[in-house]
């Protein structure tokens, strides 16, 4: 019985593929991935508290806010508005999940968005 070696990825093709993706699409994709990961760490998925980790959620929400702040003028309001809405929802969920609430303006990402109130 002969074993076939595992296929190696075609890195040249992968590089060409990413080169064809518009920057806006890359930014939005990264933002959505950060949102999804933050939702998991906030316990907002079907598994609930199984993967809940507020320290990790704080980092993800903060990174998302920084990305949106830095790219707001580059991605147009068509893309930015729903991402900002999602960010605010995550910030509110974080505030609700925290046993010791942050001071207004000190929550994750509020450095970029300003205080978020429930």
Where does the pLDDT of residue 118 fall: very low under 50, low under 70, confident under 90, or very high at 90 and above?
Answer: confident
Cβ-in-10-Å burial (0-12, 13-18, 19+) of 73 comes to: exposed
Q: Which long-range contacts (CB under 8 A, 24 or more apart) does 96-105 make?
A: 97/42, 97/43, 97/52, 97/54, 97/57, 98/54
CA distances from 22 to 26, 84, 102, 103 (A): 7, 20, 37, 38
Where does the pLDDT of residue 36 fall: very low under 50, low under 70, confident under 90, or very high at 90 and above?
Answer: very high
Where does the pLDDT of residue 2 fall: very low under 50, low under 70, confident under 90, or very high at 90 and above?
Answer: low
pLDDT digit string, tens, across residues 43-90? 999 988 899 999 999 999 999 999 999 999 999 999 999 999 999 999
Alpha carbon 13 to its chain's center: 27
The whole-model pTM stands at 0.84
The closest alpha carbon to 111, from 45, 39, 61, 46, belongs to 61
Alpha carbon 36 to its chain's center: 6
């Amino acid at each position: 019985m002969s074993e076939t070696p595992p296929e190696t990825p075609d890195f040249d093709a992968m590089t060409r593929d990413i080169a064809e993706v518009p920057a806006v699409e890359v930014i939005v994709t990264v933002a959505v991935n950060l949102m999804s990961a933050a939702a998991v760490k906030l316990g907002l998925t079907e598994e609930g508290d199984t993967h809940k980790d507020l320290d990790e959620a704080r980092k993800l929400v903060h990174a998302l806010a920084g990305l949106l702040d830095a790219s707001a003028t580059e991605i147009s309001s068509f893309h930015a508005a729903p991402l900002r809405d999602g960010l605010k929802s995550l910030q509110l969920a974080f505030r609700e999940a925290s046993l010791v609430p942050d001071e207004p303006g000190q929550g994750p990402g509020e450095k970029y968005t300003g205080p978020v109130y429930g």
